Every structure is written in structure tokens, then in C-alpha cells.
A = this chain, B = another copy of it.
């Protein structure tokens, strides 16, 4: 393992010059920079992150907190954040933490002290916990908005409203919305949106709350049939998938007798263009969040005003 000192010696310059040549080449003579670079190359020099972290007083690590990995909604967010982190030369560490109980908050605090900034995906965590979290380090919330904090959310509420209006325009008179987990921020937004859209134009049944699982979808078949809905908008992809499965298992055609909106990719696999779908760009959420965080870390001087972005969510309609 060669160190900066080795490189400096080989290039016959001082450690300081070597350091500058590698990290801020504009501060040294081009010829010198080249010599140092060549020396580094020759020795296979890899700067020690730890040492530079210590010297700079920054870890260069950011944490991404997700409530669980069992939900395919979160994983693309991770990928997106990861990609963007690489760009900003930040190390990403993923931590699974629902942020719902005090013990989890403690774990979160321990984590937080070791990193420069945090991205938190906490659909259900308590407001106060999140607020406390944000006080410690620059923080970006994903898919949730909170006064005074930066956030990146997918505007699924609007998309759900659109779906609802389209269903009604298509002649559906009884529509169901299957709500998400208890306490979900997004669920509140979506419920509001679908309610407003249906207002006086069609019968809307709000089912749930339900966990975002396949099983929950399967077992919601009863309720859906009971309320006589001919179109269903489920909170989560997995719920929708379960529901369609449950319907099929009963010999009910979907799409056909009952139509269930879902997420783009799944709609493709299920019906190839015959099913209404929305396209939530999970990776986009991740990259946007990481970008916002990187910006916040950049402008270390000024605390920077909270960023608040809503990513629009396209709706795909059969035949459109």
C-alpha cells in the first residue's frame, strides 16, 4: 500500500504539492501535476479515504434510511441515490430503519453522527422523530413533506386523481381505492386526491388501510367485490398484483369484469397496454434526493433553504 509520501518522493516533490497536484491540479504547475499523476499511477496509489476524512473533518459518507427492503418501491430509490452519490464522490450506506420507535431513533442518531448527511424515506415515521433527525445533519426527506425540511416526493396524488377521473370518464360508476399502511403520508395525499376526483361523479369506496403486500391484495378481493366496484386504484403495486391474482383465481377477468390500475412495468407484464398505469420514477426520486443533499453539503457555509420538489408522475391509459 503506497501512501502520498511515496508518491511525493517518486515525483520529487513535497507531500503538500503531491496532495494538491492530485486534488486541486489548478494550484500547481501543469508539468508538476503530470509528474505527480504519473508517479501515482506507477505506484497504484489509492488515497486513503479515512485519512482525508480526518483531515477535512468530513466523512464523505451519506446515509440512506429506508423502512424496509421488502418493498420494491424502495429499491430503485436506493439505486438512484447510489448512482448520484458516486457522481458526487460520496459513499452511500443504506440503513434499514422504519423510524417508528424510540429505539430506532437512537440507532438512527448513532448512525447520523457518523455521516455528513442523511436521506430518509419514512412513509410512516412520526413527524417529531423526523424533525429531530433533521436537526442533527443536513437531511432530505423522500416521499414525504414536512415544514422546514427538504423533500423530494413523487406526485402520485395528482396521478391517482387523474386515474380516478379517467375511470369515471370511461363510464365506471363505482370505483374503489385500496388505501395503504396506517399513517402513511402518501396515503393521506392520495385519499384526498381520489376523493376530490370522485366527488359527486361516481361512487367511491375507500378500502384499507392495508399493508403494501401481495397477500393484502389477495385478501382484498372480498371487499372489492362486495362494494361492486368495476375499477380499482390500489395504493401499492404489490396490492394491485395480489388483487388481480385473487380475481383471476375466482375466475373474474381483469381487465374485463374489474380493472385494476397498477405500476407501469407490472401493467406491461400483465396486460401489455390494456391496463391503466402510472410510472413512478423511483430512481429519479433517489437521484433527486441525493442531488439535493449533495448541494446542501456543498454550501456548508449557508444552511441553504429547504428544497421542495415534486416529481410529476405520468399516467398511461390503454389506447392512448
Contacts and interface: CB of A to CB of B under 8 A. Distances in A.
Chain copies in complex? 2
Interface stretch (A19-27, A46-54, A190-198): A46-54
Contact of A270 (B49, B78, B245): B245
A135 interface: no
Contacts of A82: 95-96
A258 to B, nearest CB: 14
Interface in A231-271: 242, 244-245, 248-249, 265-266, 268-270
Contacts of A268: 215
Contacts of A95: 82
A214 interface: yes
A246 to B, nearest CB: 9
Interface string A65-105: 00001101001101100100000000111111000000000
A279 B245 CA distance: 21
A68 to B, nearest CB: 8
Contact of A114 (B79, B91, B214): B91
B91 A92 contact: no
A212 interface: no
A218 interface: yes
A269 B215 contact: yes
A151 interface: no
B46 A50 contact: no
A300 to B, nearest CB: 15
Contact of A49 (B46, B94, B114): B114
A114 B60 CA distance: 12
Interface in A266-296: 266, 268-270
Nearest to A110: B46
Interface string A200-227: 0000000000000111001000000000
Contacts of A114: 49-50, 91
Contacts of A244: 245
Contacts of A69: 69, 75-76, 78-79
A93 B96 contact: no
Contacts of A242: 269
A166 interface: no
A98 to B, nearest CB: 12
Contacts of A50: 50, 53-54, 59, 114
Interface string A124-167: 00000000000000000000000000000000000000000000
A310 interface: no
Nearest to A91: B93
7 contacts: A46-B110, A70-B76, A82-B96, A91-B93, A92-B93, A94-B94, A248-B249
Interface of A: 46, 48-51, 53-54, 59, 69-70, 72, 75-76, 78-79, 82, 91-96, 110, 113-114, 213-215, 218, 242, 244-245, 248-249, 265-266, 268-270
